Amino acid sequence: PISGCLGDQSAALVGQLCFDIGQAKCTYGTGCFLLCNTGLETCLQIVQSSHGLLTTVAFKLGPKQPVQYAVEGSVAIAGAAVRWLRDNLGLINGSGEIEKVARTVGSTHGVYFVPAFSGLYAPYWEPDARGIICGLTQFTTRAHIARATLEAVCFQVRDILESMDRDSGTRLKQLLVDGGMAVNDLLMQLQADLLGIPVVRPQMAETTALGAAIAAGAADGINVWSLDSRKFPKVTTDIFEPSILPAEREQRFAKWKDAVSRSKHWQEVNPEETKKKQQGKHWWLMSSIPAGIFVTSSFATLLLAKACAKLPN
């Protein structure tokens, strides 16, 4: 029998033991996916995001257990940006090389990379944004761009976590992380620096699979273990603490926001929709005029042809 069924991000939330309101996790892969537990259905003021996030079901662990909800934010391009550096620009030979290359410089030296290859997801929802690399000088090297790529992932995560903070009314105390990119120690340190809170990475990397196993093992008739978090064994983790001053953190984030603003409205995604908006609410009436003229003129031509056919030669 099927004893447990969870989507991948919900499974990661369970695998990270985020059973309490206000706990959040981020999965780093091709994109980034952040979920924050917002509690039961009665907490509507938290569940309904007004800052660009999506409301989703977190989990329901048992037929007699209440549904837990979450707010979710997605980053379209995270690990995909590293792959782009490798495949399109040839700046690195392999994805695992980016940490080594980025460590050869102490900062990006003012370089910012907004990887909006297909627009910006949460919390901006800007489909017409496009990727930009700005702040380049004659001294910029591949190491600066590599480091800016890692920072771009971290900045996008901060954008979403700030929305989560505003939705919940409280600031997250730590961020639990997992996923393929989370093995990058430099990325995790940069994330802690740019968030200003500890980043906690479990040494058991497969948290999504663990979450599915936890749900299945706690099902009625299985009961391998209890879902009481106090009874779970202590998880071994790596903790990355912030190492920069708040003033530097905010200055860098402000520059990131400036770069994001430059990437917006770069491409007209749907020219027809834009044209309709420019024409106003009566665009449908205006668009029907050419067709009306065509039909009317065609009918008039037909009548004229019939009349001419009746004339004597």
Using CA atoms, how far apart are residues 304 and 16, in angstroms rounded to an integer?
79
Rounded CA separation 233/236 (Å): 9
* Cis preceding-peptide flag for 123 (omega within 30 of 0): yes
Q: Rounded CA gap, 33 and 19, in Å?
A: 18
User: pLDDT value at position 56?
Assistant: 87
Q: Which fold has domain 8-82+147-263?
A: Nucleotidyltransferase; domain 5 (3.30.420)
Closest by Cα among 252, 291, 99 to 183: 99
Low-confidence spans in the chain with pLDDT less than 50: 45-46, 277, 281, 283-287
Residue 298 has what pLDDT?
Answer: 59
Domain spans in the chain, listed from the N-terminal domain onward: 8-82+147-263, 271-310
What pLDDT, on a 0 to 100 scale, did the predictor assign at position 39? 84
- Amino acid residing at 68: Q
pTM equals: 0.81
Report the 10 Å Cβ neighbour count for 147. Answer: 26
Element (H or E) spanning 79, and its range? Answer: helix 79-84
Pairing status of strand 175-178 against strand 199-202:
parallel
